């Protein structure tokens, strides 16, 4: 099973765009794991905000990216209903990271995963 992490910066600007100061940092390359195991996908971020909005998306095949979860203003986050059982993330504002943990890996988890700010 191969999980891919996209390495480009993703930035959505709503009321104020500060793209030069806002970015995510995902390790390059594939993550390989065995079905049934757990895996953690790393995502660091740079933000001038003390309360950044962070998101994880999954894209498989030729489909559009699908929302997995979000952390808005350091809250507990919001996870899509079909991912609540096995997908989780804890925002660590001290080290500026928001890793995605996937429990009990399934073949259907093979995809490209995007961390977004």
Cα distance between residue 5 and residue 82, in whole Å: 20
Quote the pLDDT of residue 12: 44
Give the distance, in angstroms, between the CA of residue 37 and the centroid of all CA atoms in the same chain. 19
Quote the pLDDT of residue 75: 60
pLDDT confidence of 18, banded at 50, 70, 90? very low
Is 5 within 8 Å of 26 (Cβ atoms)? yes
Count of beta carbons in the 10 Å neighbourhood of residue 98:
26
Q: Please give the domain boundaries of the chain with CATH numbers for all domains.
A: 2-116 (2.60.40.10)
Contacts for 79 with CB less than 8 Å, ≥ 6 apart: 68, 69, 87, 88
Q: pLDDT for 93-114, tens place per residue? A: 889 999 999 999 999 999 999 9
Q: In the predicted model, what is the mean pLDDT of the chain? A: 81
Quote the pLDDT of residue 43: 94
């Amino acid at each position: 099973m191969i999980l891919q992490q996209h390495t480009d910066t993703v930035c959505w600007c709503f009321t104020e765009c500060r793209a030069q100061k806002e970015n995510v940092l995902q390790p390059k390359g594939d993550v390989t794991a065995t079905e049934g195991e757990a895996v953690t996908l790393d995502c660091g971020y740079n933000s001038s905000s003390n309360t950044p909005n962070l998101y994880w998306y999954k894209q498989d095949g030729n489909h559009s990216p699908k929302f997995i979860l979000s952390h808005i203003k350091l809250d507990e986050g919001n996870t899509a209903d079909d991912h609540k059982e096995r997908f989780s993330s804890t925002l660590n504002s001290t080290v500026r990271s928001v890793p995605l943990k996937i429990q009990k890996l399934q073949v259907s988890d093979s995809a490209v995963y995007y961390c977004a700010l």
